[in-house]
């Protein structure tokens, strides 16, 4: 595996609200994780699952290619902005483009928020405390559009989270200031969410009713012990264009048998190979393990379906 693009450090969902001194709080961004590396003058972008992204975000490649250091590995989040706010729906349209020409002329502006530094000028920085890595990152990178430094705050986590939710943010990421960077999920990074939401695998769909087009609802699940468990259906959050384009993709994945380990009692359900991952928001999990009041937020292309498990607060 390319040492520049090993699994990035990942946060654990938490309902913790009280923190001792020594934690930093960053905005939880509504985008996609992107690692960037430059070696011997060549810039490469990769998703968290290792997919190449140079052709999707050519303006980021240009900005990183203009940096003073010839050797670095950076970690951050790419977001799409609309009227000053992040917009995952717009980003999803950009994520599907693999032509640099179409990407540059899409009209969808993206920003790369950098929050960590893994290597600089031939030196591995992952063993440094986070506060030191961020300090070096701020000084090493020329932060001009579309690159931005991810700021952080300290203090009362409950108050900071309330302020974040009041601004319409997804939440905060709490990080231990003295923690080193590790590859994989770590309790030293915690997700503090304003609302519930997570990725789920699409395993089927229902036919539309009435004047609706495309499909009625997506049938969703998550993996547990290698089995795809049914989590319910989502039928809201789609515009007409998404209903039609997603139906075309679903038809390409049609299969004869249900991929779910649990029985799914949906009349006229169609099954698909569990390859697509949907970002969903919802109010809570029911005691039966189903989503309550779910809404579709978009497709994710930065996570493999087999990696999707039910997130539980720790």
Q: What is the pLDDT along the chain (314 residues), one digit of tens a residue?
A: 477 789 999 999 998 989 999 999 999 998 999 999 999 889 999 999 889 999 999 999 999 999 999 999 999 999 998 777 788 888 988 998 999 999 999 999 999 999 999 999 989 999 999 999 999 999 999 999 999 999 999 999 999 999 998 888 889 999 999 999 999 999 999 999 888 888 999 999 999 988 899 999 999 999 999 999 999 999 999 989 999 999 999 999 999 999 999 999 998 899 999 999 999 988 889 888 899 889 998 898 888 999 999 988 76
pLDDT on residue 249: 96
pLDDT on residue 55: 97
What kind and span of H or E run contains 63?
helix 58-65
Among residues 28, 134, 193, 233, the one annotated as catalytic is 28
- The verdict on residue 314 lying in a domain is no
Same-domain check for residues 209 and 143: no
**Residue 182 CB contacts under 8 Å (≥ 6 apart), including other chains:** 9, 126, 188
Q: Yes or no: say if 219 and 206 are a contact pair by the CB < 8 Å rule.
A: yes
pLDDT on residue 305: 94
- The verdict on residue 209 lying in a domain is yes
Q: Domain boundary residue among 123, 158, 193? A: 193
Give the CATH number of the domain where residue 201 resides. 2.40.50.140
pLDDT on residue 15: 87
| Domain count for the chain | 2
Handedness of CA 232, 234, 235, 241 (dihedral sign): negative
pLDDT on residue 14: 92
Q: Please give the Cα distance from 103 to 94 (Å, whole number).
A: 7
- The verdict on residue 312 lying in a domain is no
Same-domain check for residues 13 and 97: yes
- The verdict on residue 64 lying in a domain is yes
Q: Domain boundary residue among 193, 219, 253? A: 193
Q: Among this protein's residues, is 175 annotated catalytic?
A: no
Instruction: State which residues form the domain around 95.
Output: 3-193
Same-domain check for residues 262 and 281: yes
pLDDT on residue 86: 83
Beta pairing class for 196-205 and 218-224: antiparallel
Q: Domain boundary residue among 176, 193, 210? A: 193
């Amino acid at each position: 595996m390319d040492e520049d693009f090993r699994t990035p450090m990942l946060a654990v969902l938490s309902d913790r609200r009280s923190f001792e001194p020594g934690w930093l709080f960053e905005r939880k961004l509504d985008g996609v994780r992107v690692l960037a590396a430059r070696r011997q003058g060549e810039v490469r972008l990769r998703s968290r699952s290792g997919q190449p992204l140079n052709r999707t975000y050519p303006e980021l490649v240009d900005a990183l290619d203009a940096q003073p250091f010839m050797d670095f590995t950076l970690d951050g989040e790419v977001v799409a902005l609309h009227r000053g706010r992040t917009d995952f729906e717009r980003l999803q349209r950009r994520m599907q483009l693999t032509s640099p020409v179409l990407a540059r002329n899409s009209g969808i502006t993206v920003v790369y928020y950098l929050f960590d530094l893994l290597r600089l000028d031939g030196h591995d920085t992952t063993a440094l405390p986070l506060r030191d890595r961020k300090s070096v990152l701020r000084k090493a990178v020329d932060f001009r559009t579309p690159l931005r430094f991810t700021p952080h705050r300290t203090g009362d986590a409950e108050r900071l989270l309330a302020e974040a939710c009041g601004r319409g943010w997804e939440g905060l990421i709490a990080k231990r200031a003295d923690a080193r960077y590790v590859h994989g999920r770590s309790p030293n990074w915690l997700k503090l969410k304003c609302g519930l939401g997570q990725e789920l695998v699409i395993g089927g769909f229902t036919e539309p009713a009435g004047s609706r087009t495309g499909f009625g609802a997506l049938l969703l699940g998550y993996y547990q012990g290698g089995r795809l468990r049914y989590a319910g259906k989502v039928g809201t959050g789609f515009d007409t264009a998404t209903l039609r384009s997603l139906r075309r993709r679903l038809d390409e994945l049609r299969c004869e048998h249900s991929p779910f380990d649990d029985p799914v009692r949906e009349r006229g359900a169609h099954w698909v190979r569990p390859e697509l991952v949907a970002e969903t928001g919802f109010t809570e999990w029911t005691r039966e393990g189903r989503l309550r009041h779910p809404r579709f937020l978009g497709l994710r292309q930065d996570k493999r379906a087999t990696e999707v498990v039910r997130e539980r607060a720790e």
